[in-house]
Structures are given as C-alpha cells and as structure tokens.
Amino acid sequence: MPYKTFVVILSLFVLTLSIDPVSVSAHSGAKGIVKERMELMKDIGKAMKILGAMARGKVPLDNAKVKAAADSIARHGQKIPALFPKGSTKGVTEAGPRIWKDPEGFQKSTNEMVDAARNITEQSENAAALKPAYRRLGKTCSACHKLYRVKKKKMEYPR
C-alpha cells in the first residue's frame, strides 16, 4: 500500500480511537442504580428521537410507532423517582443535589413528563397534534434537567 494511503488510514484509526471514549465518557464508571437510570434516560431519549423525526416530518407518520414511543416514555417515567434514592451520587452522575432537597418538585417534574407522554398516546391518531404535543413533552425534559441535572454534555434528543 502506498505510504500516503497508509498514513491516511492510520490517522483515521487514531481519530476514531480518540472520538469514541469521549462519546461514552458519561457512562464509563457508572454503576448500579446510577447506570440503571442513565440507561432508562437513554431509552427515553431514543423514544424521543422516534417521535421527533415524525413530528418534524422527517419520516412518515406511523400511529403505532407514535403510540409505542409515547407509551414507553410514560412507563419509563413512572420509574424515575425510585431510581434516585438518597446518597446515589457516587461516581459518574449528573444528578443534581436539588433532587433530594426538593423531592416533591422532582416528583412533580416527573408527573409533567408522564402526563405529556400520555397526551401523545391519547392523540396518536391525530397527525396535526403531534408537533405541539412533542414540543410540550420536550419542554418537560428540559424543565427537569434545568433544575435537577448538573449538565456535563448537551442534550441528546432532537428539538
């Protein structure tokens, strides 16, 4: 192989190596319940991506998929408070101290997300309603993150 090609391949390889650890750094080291809630949030984020793509008309609307994604967010949402027991701040976590200072507020924030997700499920037949409903749901994510998450990286769901 010509030397130049070799150098290009090598530098691509090095680039990949140096990018990868960054994208997973929020999780590396997370254990137990912290890891569990990160996985849950990631699942919520994935469902949000599905909804977002359809809300913005990037992929054709599929009522069954809208319903499944919204249902999944609502179901996951109900588990949020229990995944933040007192003292679960060891290691890698973005959980903010306010979660334990204001548990009622944290619960209220959770309920708002669950309600917004259920609202989408109920209206999954109504294409025109999806966009505003998706926005409303997205706002509940940011509202909670603003108060209760010490953000170390950018949000992952599309706006």
Provide the 10 A C-beta neighbour count for residue 57: 11
For residue 156, state whether it binds ligand HEC (rule: CB under 6 A): yes
For residue 38, state whether it binds ligand HEC (rule: CB under 6 A): yes
For residue 55, state whether it binds ligand HEC (rule: CB under 6 A): no
Residues 73, 47: Cα–Cα separation, whole Å: 7
Q: Using CB under 6 A, which of the segments 1-9, 52-60, 127-135, 140-148 binds ligand HEC?
A: 140-148
For 9, 27, 48, 97, the CA distances from 43, given in Å and listed in that order, are 34, 14, 8, 23
Provide the 10 A C-beta neighbour count for residue 27: 13
In the complex, least distance from residue 130 CB atom to ligand HEC, rounded to whole angstroms: 14
- For residue 93, how far is the Cα from the chain centroid? 14
Kindly list the residues in this chain that would bind ligand HEC in the complex (CB under 6 A): 26-27, 34, 37-38, 41-42, 44-45, 48, 73, 80, 93-95, 106, 109-110, 113, 137, 140-141, 144-145, 148-149, 156-157
